[in-house]
C-alpha cells in the first residue's frame, strides 16, 4: 500500500560503501522507495566534522549518488540531492539553535562517545571535538524538518538523533505554533550479523570491509582473504561460525542457503570451494549494479545533472518552509 507519508534519509559521504551498508540500510531504503515518496540526500555538510579534504568530500559524494542511482531504487519516487546545494538548511539550523536546550546536545550519543573515549584515554574530555560534531543533531533536525518528513528510517544507533529532531520540533511548535510535523524514527529491522573479512562486524574502522562496488577481480581477491579456521576439506564445519556462510546468507535464496549449510555440515566442502561459491553468488547480484555505477562514475555530467535537478526541487520545498519559519520567528512577510 502506498500512502502519502514522506520518508527521508541522509547518507554521509565519508568512505566507500560496503556490503554491510548495503544489507543493513541501502537495500531496505530501496524497498521503501518502491512504496513511498523517499527523500535521500548526500549529507556532505555532516561529513565536515570529520573530513577536511574537499576533494575527498566531492568524490565520495559522487560515489554515493552513483550508488543510489544504480541499486534499483524507484527513482520516480525518489528525490536525490546534495545537502549543501540547499543552503536553507544552514539557515534553519541557526533558527533551531535558539529553541534547542543545550542539555540535549550534551546528551547526544555521538558527542558523549567522543568525550568518553577521551576521558578513558586520560585526555581532556573535549580533545578533538569540534562544534560541528557537538551541534550536529541540530543540523540533522534541520534536514528532517525542512522537508516535512514523516518517517526517518535509521539504524538503532541513529534513533536518538531522530528523537532529538522531534523534541526540537516540539519546542519550536510550543513557542511559535504548530509549524513542523513531528517526525518519527523507523528502526530498520536488524539484518543480523554482517561479518567482515576477519570475522568481526564489517566496519570501516576495523578495515575489514568488502566494498559494494569492488570490481569482479577485487571482489574475488577480498573473498579469498576471508579468515577461516584450519579444518581440512573433509571435516564437518559449523556454518553459523563461518564468515563465508554468514555473508552468503544475505544474498542467496532460502534453498541455496539451506543447501550450503548442509554441505558445510556433511564435510567434503573445502573453504576454497566455499569461497568460490560465495564469490559467484555475490558477483551475480552485484555485477549489474556495478555496471551502471561504473558508467555513471565515468559520466559525471549525468551525475551533476541529476543532482542539480534534485536540488532545484529540494530548494522549492525548503523555500516554502523557510518563509513560514521567518514569518513566525522574525515577523517578516509570508
Residues that bind ligand TRP (CB under 6 A): 8-10, 12, 43, 46, 140, 143-144, 152, 154, 158, 161
Q: Given the complex with ligand TRP, which of 70 and 83 has the nearer CB atom? A: 83
Identity of the residue, 146 or 282, whose beta carbon is nearer to ligand TRP in the bound complex: 146
Bridge partners of 40?
A: 9, 80
* Minimum separation from the CB atom of position 284 to ligand TRP (A): 29
Nearer to ligand TRP, 93 or 243 (CB): 93
Supply 229's cell numbers.
579456521
Least distance in angstroms from the C-beta of 142 to ligand TRP? 9
Measured from the CB of residue 293, what is the shortest distance to ligand TRP in angstroms? Answer: 21
CB of 27 to ligand TRP, least distance (A): 16
Residue number closest to ligand TRP, CB atom: 10
- Cβ neighbours of residue 20 closer than 8 Å, sequence gap 6 or more: 194, 196, 201, 202, 203, 209
User: C-beta of 14: minimal distance to ligand TRP in Å?
Assistant: 9
- In angstroms and rounded to an integer, the radius of gyration of the C-alpha atoms of the chain is 22
- The C-alpha cell at 110 is 555521538
Specify the residue, 124 or 157, whose C-beta has the smaller distance to ligand TRP.
Answer: 157
Instruction: Identify any residues that bridge with 211 across adjacent strands, giving them in sequence order.
Output: 18
Q: How many CB atoms lie within 10 A of CB 193?
A: 16
CB closer to ligand TRP out of 158 and 208: 158
Which of 165, 277 has the CB closer to ligand TRP?
A: 165
- At its nearest, how many Å lie between ligand TRP and the CB of residue 100? 15
Q: Which residue has the cell 564435510?
A: 267
The nearer residue to ligand TRP, 68 or 152, going by C-beta atoms, is 152
Angle at 309 between CA 308 and CA 312, to 5 degrees: 85
- Residue pair 160/15 in contact by the 8 Å Cβ criterion: no
Q: Which residue carries 576521558 as its cell?
A: 119
Work out how close the CB of 289 gets to ligand TRP at its nearest, in angstroms, rounded to a whole number: 21
Beta carbons within 10 angstroms of residue 236's beta carbon: 11
Collect contacts of 179-184 with beta carbons under 8 A, ≥24 apart: 179/324, 179/325, 179/328, 180/145, 180/148, 181/145, 181/148, 181/149, 181/150, 183/8, 183/144, 183/145, 183/149, 183/150, 183/151, 183/152, 184/150, 184/151, 184/152
Least distance CB 157 / ligand TRP (angstroms): 8
In angstroms, the Cα distances linking 13 to 10, 53, 61, 133, 324 are 10, 12, 5, 15, 31
- CA-CA distance, 173 to 152, in Å (whole number)? 19
Task: For ligand TRP, give the closer residue by CB, 14 or 208.
Answer: 14
Amino acid at each position: 500500500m502506498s500512502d502519502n507519508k514522506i520518508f527521508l534519509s541522509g547518507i554521509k559521504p565519508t568512505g566507500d560503501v560496503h556490503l554491510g551498508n548495503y544489507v543493513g540500510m541501502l537495500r531496505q531504503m530501496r524497498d521503501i522507495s518502491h512504496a513511498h515518496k523517499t527523500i535521500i540526500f548526500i549529507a556532505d555538510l555532516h561529513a565536515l566534522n570529520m573530513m577536511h579534504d574537499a576533494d575527498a568530500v566531492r568524490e565520495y559524494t559522487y560515489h554515493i549518488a552513483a550508488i543510489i542511482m544504480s541499486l534499483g531504487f524507484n527513482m520516480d519516487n525518489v528525490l536525490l540531492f546534495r545537502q549543501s546545494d540547499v543552503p536553507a538548511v544552514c539557515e534553519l539550523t541557526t533558527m533551531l539553535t535558539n529553541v534547542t536546550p543545550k542539555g540535549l546536545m550534551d546528551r547526544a550519543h555521538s558527542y558523549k562517545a567522543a568525550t568518553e573515549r577521551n576521558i578513558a584515554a586520560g585526555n581532556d574530555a573535549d580533545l578533538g571535538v569540534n562544534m560541528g560534531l557537538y551541534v550536529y543533531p541540530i543540523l540533522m533536525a534541520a534536514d528532517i524538518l525542512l522537508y516535512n518528513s514523516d518517517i526517518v528510517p535509521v539504524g538503532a544507533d541513529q534513533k536518538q538523533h531522530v528523537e532529538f529532531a522531534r523534541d526540537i520540533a516540539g519546542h519550536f511548535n510550543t513557542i511559535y505554533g504548530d509549524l513542523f510535523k513531528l517526525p518519527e524514527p523507523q528502526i530498520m529491522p536488524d539484518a543480523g550479523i554482517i561479518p567482515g573479512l576477519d570475522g568481526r562486524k564489517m566496519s570501516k574502522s576495523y578495515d575489514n570491509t568488502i566494498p559494494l562496488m569492488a570490481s569482479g577481480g577485487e571482489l574475488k581477491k577480498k573473498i579469498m582473504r576471508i579468515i577461516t579456521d584450519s579444518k581440512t576439506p573433509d571435516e564437518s564445519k559449523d556454518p553459523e561460525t563461518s564468515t563465508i556462510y554468514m555473508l552468503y546468507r544475505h544474498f542467496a535464496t532460502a534453498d541455496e542457503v539451506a543447501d550450503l549449510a548442509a554441505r558445510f555440515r556433511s564435510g567434503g566442502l573445502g573453504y576454497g570451494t566455499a569461497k568460490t561459491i560465495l564469490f559467484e553468488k555475490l558477483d551475480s547480484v552485484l555485477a549489474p549494479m556495478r555496471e551502471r555505477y561504473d558508467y555513471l562514475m565515468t559520466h559525471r555530467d549525468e551525475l551533476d545533472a541529476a543532482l542539480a535537478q534534485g536540488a532545484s526541487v529540494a530548494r522549492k520545498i525548503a523555500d516554502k518552509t523557510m518563509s513560514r519559519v521567518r514569518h513566525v520567528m522574525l515577523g517578516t512577510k509570508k
